[in-house]
Chain A
Amino acid sequence: MKRFLAIHTVRNVYLTQDEWVEDWRGLRHRSRQTPGCPVWLTSYYAAIQGKLYCEWEAESEDDIRRCFTQRELDMAPFESIQEIVRMDATWLDE
């Protein structure tokens, strides 16, 4: 599996905690049933800039795109999806 960084521009934010949690949980479950079984690993949210940086494991960029509902894409459309490689800086301490 390859690793990808998906960058979203956050246009609208969930109004309630339940809406937020249920939607994100739904995305995580939905991804497991999407062809290629992409895995949403983690996210970083830059609140001031309104950006969401999400790390995915997937076979292709398209597999990631297929996990999202139109509503989710309207709320936080993709700015880009880039294939990345992880480099662990803590190894530099050895």
Chain B
Amino acid sequence: MGYPFPSEAWLLALHQTLNRDQQYAQVARGWEGDILCLIEAADGPGWLAAFYLDLWHGACRGVRAYAPGTEELPAAKFTLRAPLPNFYKVISGELDPMQAMMTRRLKVEGNMAYMLRNVPTVLDFVRCCRAVEIEPKLAF
């Protein structure tokens, strides 16, 4: 079953996927840090959706989706910010996450040293994102 992206349904499916995935539990067992994903409009200011994920020791303790217009977003250890096409390309497998970070197609606010030391966790998190089917597919 597929979920529209970005949507709360997709985020809830990712929450389930992360908590059911034994490989993620193992690889991310040392990870401590919540993530706020800000999906920006492709053209112009503002954001289309914001996803908050509380990731802790190989589990996802909670998620929350925020609609545009929300005044206060939570402060997270990491904020990932990108226009919708770039986010979509990363989670659909078209764009490598490391390449996206290195070229700033995916902007990262937070301790980069922690992120780089935990590349296997980052890659496995993206693998779980890719396991959640998106429907309808988007074309950019």
Contact = CB atoms under 8 A, between A and B. Distances in A.
Main secondary structure of the interface of B (DSSP, over half): helix
A24 B118 CA distance: 19
B41 interface: no
Interface string A26-66: 00000000000000000001011000000000000000000
Contact of A15 (B102, B113, B118, B119): B113
A13 B120 contact: no
Contacts of A14: 112-113, 116
Interface of A: 12-17, 19-21, 24, 45, 47-48
Contact of B112 (A16, A45, A47): A16
A16 B118 CA distance: 14
Contact of B102 (A12, A13, A21, A47): A21
B101 A47 contact: no
Taking residues whose C-beta sits less than 8 angstroms from the other chain, chain B's interface range is 10 to 19
Interface stretch (B69-77, B103-111, B130-138): B103-111
Contact of A21 (B104, B109, B116, B118): B104
Contacts of A13: 112-113, 116-117
B117 A47 contact: yes
21 contacts: A12-B113, A13-B112, A13-B116, A13-B117, A14-B112, A14-B113, A15-B113, A16-B112, A17-B101, A17-B108, A17-B109, A20-B112, A20-B116, A21-B103, A21-B104, A24-B102, A45-B98, A45-B116, A45-B119, A47-B116, A48-B120
Contact of B120 (A16, A17, A24, A47): A47
